[in-house]
Amino acid sequence: MAIKHFLQFNDLSTAELNHIFARTQWIKAQFKAYQQYWPLQDRTLVMIFEKASTRTRLSFEAGIQQLGGSAIYLNTRDSQLGRGEPVEDAAQVISRMSDLVMIRTFEQDIIERFAANSRVPVINGLTNEYHPCQILADIFTFIEHRGGDISSIKGKTVAWIGDSNNVCNTWLQAAELLDFNVHVSTPPGYEVEPERANLYGNSHFETFVDPMEAAKGADLVTTDVWTSMGFEAENEERKRDFADWQVDADMMKVANKDALFMHCLPAHRGEEVAAEVIDGKQSVVWDEAENRLHVQKALMEYLLLGKV
């Protein structure tokens, strides 16, 4: 069987996504019922972090352990990865000693090169371009809050307010596969680059100059930090440029009455989101964070065992 990687969202087909969401429901229910499920006994996940993380590390490490396997954490500070060893060489070595690799890094090219030299599946735990595991969790969270029907996101409108970053690009790929629409509003100069987002077309997203227009009638309003990891030097400039792109209560009012609010976290209250929104009734950010655990368990099961 050819090795299956998850380097960007559209590495999975619609059918594969539906399988993973269905497995997530089952795996989560087993976990909540304290039922042991160890399909990945003796399997080793290597996690490579070139950027900081709380949720991604925790959810992958806990997730593989709960499936019966174990995890090894590597970072650039105290491994040879930060000292110029070619990524191709690292991939050869790491993939001979493990069953699965998760990487959080900078350019997408790095993870692509690693995967091209890996004997085992590679998962993108965030790059400058994409954050596919996050959107798996976000869509699963939407489905759960809409009664558990996997097709419930079809035809819906997601409003993306803020930076056209890795999380935004991934929403755009997901919209094409699962047939929903994304209304994007970014400040001038921070617009979506469809090529960077690697889209098939532009039929599933629409851009809006005014963030209030983007939020109008949305089923889900979502945003992310104004300054992503790796872009810290632009922080002050971005704070000025993004000042009018805060998701606040007035913005939530123009969305659908039952609209959900999501944020991948970590969040900055008073910047991209007002405290009253992220801590308010429509916010599902804690479910969203928890679901990283459950969807990634289903993802790891699929990449290693196929359709069980």
Catalytic residues: 104, 131, 134, 224, 264, 292
- The DSSP bridge partners found for residue 74 are 48
Angle at 107 between CA 106 and CA 109, to 5 degrees: 135
Report d(CA 248, CA 156) in Å as an integer: 21
CB of 111 to ligand NVA, least distance (A): 14
28 touching ligand CP, by CB under 6 A: no
Comparison of 19 and 49: residue with beta carbon closer to ligand CP:
49
Least Å distance between CB 183 and ligand CP?
A: 22
Q: Are 164 and 186 in contact (CB under 8 A)?
A: yes
Q: Report in angstroms how near the CB of residue 97 gets to ligand NVA at its nearest.
A: 28
CB of 134 to ligand CP, least distance (A): 5
Find the binding residues for ligand CP in span 265-304 (CB under 6 A). 265
Alpha carbon distance 176, 257 (integer Å):
25
Site for ligand CP contains 62 (CB under 6 A): no
**Which of ligand NVA, ligand CP, none sits in contact with 30, Cβ below 5 to 8 A by type?**
none
3 state SS of 65: helix
Piece in contact with ligand CP (CB under 6 A), picked from 52-60, 69-77, 169-177, 205-213: 52-60
Whole-angstrom Cα Rg for the chain: 19
State the Cα–Cα distance between residues 232 and 227, nearest whole angstrom. Answer: 6
Judged by beta carbon distances under 5 to 8 A according to partner kind, the member of ligand CP, ligand NVA, none in contact with residue 178 is none
Which residues lie near ligand NVA (CB under 6 A)?
126, 165-167, 224-225, 228-229, 264
| DSSP helix/strand/coil, 155 | coil
Which region among 51-59, 110-118, 203-211, 247-255 touches ligand CP (by CB under 6 A)? Answer: 51-59
- Which strand (E) or helix (H) includes residue 100? strand 100-104
CB 44 within 8 A of CB 70: yes
Q: Which residues here bind ligand CP, judged by CB under 6 A?
A: 53-56, 126, 134, 264-265
